[in-house]
Amino acid sequence: MKILVTGGAGFIGSHLVDLLLSEGHTPIILDDLSNGSEANVPSGVKLYRKDILSDKVEHIFKKEKPDIVMHLAAQVNVDRSMENPAEDAAINVLGTLRLLEYSIKYGVKKFIFSSSCAVYGYTNEVIHEESPTSPISFYGTSKLVSETYIKLFHRLYHIPYTILRYANVYGPRQRTDGEGGVISIFIDQLLSDETPVIYGDGNQTRDFVYVEDVARANLLSVSNADNLVVNIGSGSQTSVNLLFTLLSNLLNLSKTPTYVSKRNGDIMHSQLTNAKASENLSWEPKYDLISGLEHTLAYFKERKKE
C-alpha cells in the first residue's frame, strides 16, 4: 500500500517508515523538518518538506493518491502549548482537519491518527479507553478536538479511522531538548556529565512504551481496529525517581538530580490498559522498560561518539 506518513522524518514517524518499508509498503513522508531530520529518511523514500498547513499539501494528495494516511505530525510540547495555545490549535487541530478534507477528496481508504494519553487529564486509576477525558493542557485539548473531528468525518463521509492514544513514547532518535521526553533528556544529561533536572518531587508516574512497539501498533492498524480508539502503552507505571535510578544504574553513575517546581499541564499519574489493543490489534508490547532503556542507551552512546 501507498501510505502517507505525516511527521515521517521525526522520532516515532521515522521508526514507522522503517517498519512499513520492511513490510513491503510504500511510505511517503510529509514533514517540515521542524522536529524531524532528513537523516532519518531512508534512501529512496519520497520526502515532501512541507508544513501540514500549507496549501501545497493538497497537491501531494492529488499526485500521490495515498491509500492510507498515518498522521503523526504535531506540536507535541506541553509547555509550548500552554504558552501559545493558538499556535498549538492551528497545527494540531486545523492541520488534522485539512488532512481529513484532502483524504475525503482524494479517496483515502483509512485515516490513522496518533493521539495521546494527555486527553485523559488527571486520574489515579488505570486508564482505559472509556475513562473520562478532561485534558489539563492545551496540547491534550487539541488532540481530543482532533479526535472529535475524525469521528465526525467518519459519520458524515464514512472514512474508516483508528485513533491510537500513546502513552509516553521513548527510544532511539528522540530529541533531547524541550521537545524530547524525560528518558532522552535524562540520558543526554547523564552522558554529558550534567546534573539532571526533575520537575516536581519525582513521584509522578508515567507509562513508558518503546518506540518500536508504537510503530508496530500503527502498522497493525492498517487492517485492524476500524473506527476504534485504542490505548498504546506498556500497561505499567514507573515513577520519574525510579526511572532516574534505573538509568543511573545502567550507566554505573552516581548523581543527585536537581528538583525544581512542577510544570503546568503535567499530570501526576499515568498507566494505560492494553486490553483493547490486545483484542483488536493482537498487540502487546515486546519490550519491557529495562530492555527498551538498554537499546536507547546504546543509540545515544553511539551518537556521542560521532
Q: How confident is the model at residue 177 (pLDDT cuts 50, 70, 90)?
A: confident
Percentage of the chain lying above the pLDDT 90 cut: 91
Mean pLDDT of 150-173: 98
Could you tell me the pLDDT band of residue 125, with boundaries at 50, 70 and 90? confident
Task: Give the tens place of pLDDT for each residue, 7-25.
Answer: 999 999 999 999 999 999 9
What are the residues facing 165 on neighbouring strands? Answer: 115, 231
The mean per-residue pLDDT over the stretch 26-55 comes to 96
Domain residue extents for the chain: 2-169+209-233
Class of domain 2-169+209-233: alpha beta
pTM score of the predicted model = 0.96
Burial, 37: exposed, middle or buried (Cβ in 10 Å; 0-12, 13-18, 19+)? middle
Q: Kindly report, residue by residue over 207-226, the tens digit of the pLDDT.
A: 999 999 999 999 999 999 99
Sort 256 into a burial class: Cβ within 10 Å, 0-12 / 13-18 / 19+. exposed
Q: Which residues are tagged catalytic?
A: 139
Give the C-alpha separation, 202 to 258, whole Å: 10
Please compute the mean of the pLDDT values over residues 250-274 and round it to a whole number.
89
165: Cβ contacts below 8 Å, ≥ 6 apart? 115, 116, 117, 119, 129, 229, 230, 231, 232, 272
User: In whole angstroms, what is the distance from residue 260 CA to residue 267 CA?
Assistant: 16
Judged against a pLDDT cut of 70, whether residue 51 lies above it is answered with yes
pLDDT band at 179 (very low <50, low <70, confident <90, very high): low
Q: What is the mean pLDDT of the chain?
A: 95
- Beta-bridged to residue 168, according to DSSP, are 208
Q: Is the Cβ–Cβ distance between 114 and 146 less than 8 Å?
A: no
The residues near 224 (Cβ < 8 Å, ≥ 6 apart) are 162, 280, 281, 282
